Chain A
Amino acid sequence: DSGVTQTPKHLITATGQRVTLRCSPRSGDLSVYWYQQSLDQGLQFLIQYYNGEERAKGNILERFSAQQFPDLHSELNLSSLELGDSALYFCASSVDGTGENEQFFGPGTRLTVL
């Protein structure tokens, strides 16, 4: 158990819908990272937040957005969902915002878009 929690574990929805994925980092960690893992793409970095502010951006679509709240939990919002958005979404946390330290991964949310 990494100490990072993610909810829900599974999510099934329809095309065009909007969903919110939630992540709570390890106690004491200030950074949260979001990743998407699909079968053909591998693990893709989406976005990083550090202490409430966006720190780094990866291959995140405009239909997706994220935020980190004062209690340091983070939410990833996915809208206008398409079939291709079906994937495992991982959240990871680390102690600071430099990216110098190890990232600990949560168990993931499996999103299925029908």
Chain B
Amino acid sequence: GQNIDQPTEMTATEGAIVQINCTYQTSGFNGLFWYQQHAGEAPTFLSYNVLDGLEEKGRFSSFLSRSKGYSYLLLKELQMKDSASYLCAVRDRLTGGGNKLTFGTGTQLKVEL
């Protein structure tokens, strides 16, 4: 089975940097995704890591350590519109082919003035 842990809530200040951590336990790891979801809306893709290291994409970066079962999403120069839920999702290889994406329960980020 899978277990994905991320903090429930975080608060940060506009213009600052925030790091959202995600730890996971899985049997057939095949990649980790970060999605952003505003309340009542669809999740939107932010980043993807399958190898160890840092992936940078504008104000957003994501890091993966497969040996530690650990990832983080780094958001720089925070803006009010970054207030949302951030979902960590782990992709597992399935026996018989295909992959399954399992989502964590999300970290609700609140950006304050």
Measured CB to CB, the residues of A under 8 A from B are 2, 4, 33, 35, 41-45, 48, 50, 55-56, 58, 88, 90, 97-100, 102-108, 110
Please determine whether B45 and A102 come into contact, CB atoms closer than 8 angstroms.
yes
Report which of B43, B99, B103 forms a contact with A56, defined as CB distance below 8 A: B99
B contacts, CB < 8 Å to A: 30-31, 33, 40-45, 48, 87, 89, 91, 94, 97-106
Q: Do B45 and A104 have beta carbons less than 8 Å apart?
A: yes
12 contacts between A and B (CB under 8 A): A2-B42, A4-B42, A42-B103, A43-B43, A48-B100, A56-B98, A99-B30, A103-B101, A105-B42, A105-B43, A105-B44, A108-B40
Best-buried of B45, B98, B104 by chain A (most CB within 10 Å): B98
| A58–B103 touching, CB < 8 Å | no
B42 and A108 contact, CB distance less than 8 A: yes
The chain A residue with its CB closest to the CB of B102 is A45
The B contact surface, by secondary structure, is strand
Q: Report the Cα distance A35→B81, complex, angstroms.
A: 25
Q: Within the complex, what minimum Cβ distance (angstroms) separates A58 from chain B?
A: 6
User: Known interface pairs A42-B106, A43-B87, A56-B94. Does A100 touch B44 (Cβ–Cβ under 8 Å)?
Assistant: no
Inter-chain CA distance A99–B44, complex, in Å, is: 16
Closest 8 CB pairs of A and B: A99-B99, A105-B42, A42-B105, A43-B103, A56-B98, A105-B43, A55-B98, A102-B45
Contact yes or no, A98 B99, CB < 8 A: yes
- Whether B40 contacts A97 by the Cβ 8 Å rule is no
In Å, the complex CA distance between A88 and B85 comes to 15
| B94 → A minimal CB distance (Å) | 6
B48's partner among A50, A55, A98, A102 (CB-CB below 8 A) is A102
Chain A residue at smallest Cβ distance from B33: A102
